[in-house]
Every structure is written in structure tokens, then in C-alpha cells.
């Protein structure tokens, strides 16, 4: 009976090295970026769009901010972070009543 054992991490191929370099590049504007492939293009996927009076109305949203490159390869990878970070702490609520003059 064979036993499972850990092996060393494989050296990245040239393609994987490029992908890792792109993912590590500076992103000062905090553009959404795919954590898998580094792509910054995204898709919004709707089902059941209709034309009402010549205007298009979206149907049901199936996927939001999905990586376009991964989607073409058959993977649904969201560009949105798992947990949205708090940009600014909310102000504490006023407890003291205002003075009336």
C-alpha cells in the first residue's frame, strides 16, 4: 500500500512566472484584479433581458464582476474580494441632545 507524501513545489513555468509578476504589480488605484490570472477585465452576466419600448431591460443577474479571461476558460472567478473592507469607520451616533437657544 502506497503512502501519501508531500513533494516540493514545482518551479513555475514561464507563463506562470508572468502571471505572478502581473499579480504583484503596483495597483495604486485599487482596480479590481483577478486573484487567479491577474486580468482586470470583468463580465456581468444576466439572463432574460427584454426589450420594452425599444429599451433594453436587464433580466436576472447571474454573476457579478466575473473575470473575463477565466470565464473564457470555463472557470467562474469573482474579482470582488471575499470580504469587503471598511473604508472609513462610521461616525459614532450623537448621544447628547443639542442645546436650544
- 79 lies in the site for Zn ion, by CB under 5 A: no
Inter-CA distances, 84 with 26, 38, 81, 87, 88, Å:
20, 19, 6, 9, 12
By CB under 5 A, residue 22 contacts Zn ion: no
Query: Interacting stretch for Zn ion, rule CB under 5 A, among 22-30, 49-57, 76-84, 87-95?
Result: 76-84
> What is the Cα–Cα distance from 73 to 61, expressed in whole angstroms?
21
DSSP-H helix ranges across the chain: 14-24, 68-72
* Residue span binding Zn ion (CB under 5 A) among the ranges 14-22, 37-45, 56-64, 90-98: 37-45
- The site for Zn ion (CB under 5 A) is made up of 34, 36-37, 39, 67, 69-70, 77
Amino acid at each position: 500500500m502506497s503512502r501519501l507524501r508531500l513533494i516540493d513545489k514545482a518551479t513555475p513555468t514561464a507563463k506562470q512566472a508572468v502571471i505572478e509578476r502581473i499579480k504583484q504589480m503596483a495597483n495604486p488605484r485599487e482596480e479590481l484584479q483577478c486573484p487567479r490570472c491577474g486580468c482586470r477585465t470583468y463580465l456581468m452576466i444576466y439572463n432574460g433581458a427584454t426589450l420594452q419600448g425599444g429599451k433594453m431591460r436587464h433580466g436576472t443577474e447571474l454573476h457579478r464582476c466575473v473575470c473575463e479571461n477565466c470565464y473564457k476558460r470555463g472557470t467562474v472567478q469573482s474579482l470582488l474580494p471575499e470580504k469587503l473592507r471598511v473604508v472609513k469607520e462610521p461616525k459614532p451616533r450623537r448621544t447628547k441632545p443639542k442645546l436650544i437657544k
